[in-house]
Amino acid sequence: MPDPSSTPGPDDAILVVGGGIVGLTQAYMLCRRGHRVHLFESGAGFAGRASHANGGHLSTDSGAPWVSPSILPELVHWLFDSHRPLSVKPMAMGWAGWSWLLSASRHLRLDRYLVSHSRLHALTESSVALWQRIESEIASPLAPGRGVLYLYRSAHEWDEARGMLERERPIGIQAVPVAAGELASFAPALATAKVRPAGGIWYPRDRFGDCREAAGRLAGWIESHGACLHRDTPVMAIEQAGGSIRVRTRHGLWIGQALVIAAGVDSVRLARPLGIRLALCPVKGYTRTYPISPLPSTGPALADHSRKVVLTPLGGTLRVAGMAEFAGFDDRLEPRYLTRLHETASDWFPELATVQSTLDWACLRAMTADGLPLLGPTRVPRVFLNTGHGPLGWTLAAATAERVADAIEGRNEAP
């Protein structure tokens, strides 16, 4: 670890707070442009929280704002569904959580949803192209799996999904409806499933892989190109000092010419003392990892749209991820939600019914009301944001890193 007494000068470094996939990609983008970079991660390793054991998808076409018009009819169904993918704990959410829900409800209108989705998809297209370039530059296939097949348990849900897909095609969504009788040709493992889906939608451009491994490879490239990555170094405060910005940690003080807050849900705490109020809501997701996978590692991955659960083959293992729990900043595991994931996985793959998970995980995802991340300059000079990616952190990280780097260099104002 660098000696805190030899801190970088005020015009010497860009400071990045957060060592998940978003923060590491930001550090990569700045380092690639020739900037001196210091990145601060509170954990002992990188990608230790939301990036650690997530669903692992680069959602080229399936990624969409979480709040959509389709949620309203689903809410009625979920009231009577023991496997509902949504849980709200009113007392834990606090006033900020309820304010976020009120703001999000405005995006239930189809016109507003399509505007947000159009902007999000444009950002996604840019990001996926950048990820391909990054993979080439670091000589590593970060997301080797290809194709995601969404499954619908009822004919009504499948009809609704196909109708929405037609409305989304003008914004560039590329997907193919698949009739029930043709699903096994995409994923032969479905032949033994206990449920018979009404149909599916195939997203051929979606990709998947292990986000934590991808973060580790990025970290190795960044360090080999001169950046300083500070592990086990939580940022206690961000301070202004004349014409510079600095971070105070338990290991000392670092000074830089600019600072990027890319710390997921912790961005709220870091920004507040600066007078920056972030309209972010922590939404908890759960994952289980099984030591065997009925799906081949090359693909496809599956998504149970009815229960909002993804099933992703990662090498010889299977990652099962789902749930959206509104419980404030509580990141503890709830066993009943892990049970729901297990039961859903066993519906599609009965051989998993007696298999134990090797890793149970829960993480908080920083979500905005419209699904678009918070990017670029703030009211505080030299402080920039790259946060609020929700469940699309890996998908969007390359494009958001580029836009924030442009904003730091004065090339644009970043949205």
Residue 201 and residue 285 in one domain = yes
Burial letters 11-45, b for 16+ CB under 10 A, else e: eebbbbbbbbbbbbbbbbbbbbeebbbbbbbbeee
Highest mean pLDDT among 10-14, 82-86, 108-112, 229-233: 229-233
- How does DSSP assign 34-80, residue by residue? T--EEEE-SSSSSS-STTTS---EE-TTT---SS-TTHHHHHHHHTT
β-pairing, 383-387 vs 258-261, is parallel
Task: Report yes or no on 56 lying in a domain.
Answer: no
Residue 286 and residue 359 in one domain = yes
Residue 218 and residue 287 in one domain = no
Q: Where are the beta strands (DSSP E) in 281-333?
A: 281-290, 301-304, 309-314, 317-326
In three-state secondary structure terms, 89 is coil
- Over residues 113-166, the pLDDT tens digits come to 999 999 999 999 999 999 999 999 998 899 999 999 999 999 999 999 999 999
Residue 67 and residue 165 in one domain = yes
86-100, 220-234, 243-257, 321-335: least confident range: 86-100
Q: Which two tokens stand for residue 339?
A: 């049970």
Calculated CA dihedral for residues 254, 256, 258, 263, nearest 10 degrees: -20
Residue 365, φ and ψ in degrees, nearest 5: -105, 130
Whether 273 has a pLDDT exceeding 90, the answer reads: yes
Residue 190 and residue 287 in one domain = yes
Residue 8 and residue 142 in one domain = no
Residue 42 and residue 67 in one domain = no
β-pairing, 244-249 vs 252-256, is antiparallel
- Over residues 191-206, the pLDDT tens digits come to 999 999 999 999 999 9
CB 264 within 8 A of CB 285: no
CB 285 within 8 A of CB 385: no
Residue 94 and residue 188 in one domain = yes
CATH code of the domain containing 274: 3.50.50.60
Tell me, what's the pLDDT at 6?
A: 46
Domain count, the chain: 2
| Listed residue (86, 64, 82) closest to 74, CA to CA | 86
Tell me, what's the pLDDT at 414?
A: 45
CB 239 within 8 A of CB 7: no
CB 391 within 8 A of CB 121: no
Task: Report yes or no on 235 lying in a domain.
Answer: yes
- Kind and range of the H or E element at 260? strand 258-261
Partners of 377 in beta bridges? 384
Q: Count of alpha carbons within 13 Å of 349, Cβ hemisphere only?
A: 25
Residue 223, φ and ψ in degrees, nearest 5: -65, -35
Task: Report yes or no on 311 lying in a domain.
Answer: yes
Task: Report yes or no on 296 lying in a domain.
Answer: yes
Task: Report yes or no on 401 lying in a domain.
Answer: yes
In three-state secondary structure terms, 181 is helix
- Over residues 320-349, the pLDDT tens digits come to 999 999 999 999 999 999 999 999 999 999
Task: Report yes or no on 55 lying in a domain.
Answer: no
Q: Which two tokens stand for residue 407?
A: 């904003």
Domain boundary among 352, 367, 382: 367
User: 0.75 cut: is pTM over it?
Assistant: yes
- Over residues 140-152, the pLDDT tens digits come to 899 999 999 999 9
Residue 191 and residue 297 in one domain = yes
Distances (CA, A) of 176 to 170, 204, 298, 411: 14, 8, 19, 38
Q: Which two tokens stand for residue 353?
A: 């019914």
Angle at 51 between CA 48 and CA 54, to 5 degrees: 120
The interaxial angle of helices 211-224 and 393-408, nearest 10 deg, is 30
Name the percent of the chain lying above pLDDT 90: 83
Residue 337 and residue 274 in one domain = no
CATH code of the domain containing 96: 3.30.9.10
Q: Which 8-state DSSP code applies to residue 195?
A: S
Q: Count of alpha carbons within 13 Å of 409, Cβ hemisphere only?
A: 13
Task: Report yes or no on 150 lying in a domain.
Answer: yes
Residue 68 and residue 170 in one domain = yes
Confidence of residue 97 (pLDDT cuts 50, 70, 90): confident
CA distance 268 to 263: 9
- Kind and range of the H or E element at 127? helix 110-138
Task: Report yes or no on 415 lying in a domain.
Answer: no
Q: What is the mean pLDDT of the chain?
A: 92
Residue 325 and residue 401 in one domain = no
CA distance 286 to 194: 23
Tell me, what's the pLDDT at 3?
A: 44
β-pairing, 37-40 vs 14-17, is parallel
Mean pLDDT of 30-41: 97
Greater model confidence, 51 or 414: 51
Name the percent of the chain lying above pLDDT 70: 96
Task: Please give the residue range of the domain that contains residue 170.
Answer: 61-205+281-367
Confidence of residue 2 (pLDDT cuts 50, 70, 90): very low
Q: Which two tokens stand for residue 246?
A: 């600095």
Whether 107 has a pLDDT exceeding 80, the answer reads: yes
- Kind and range of the H or E element at 392? none
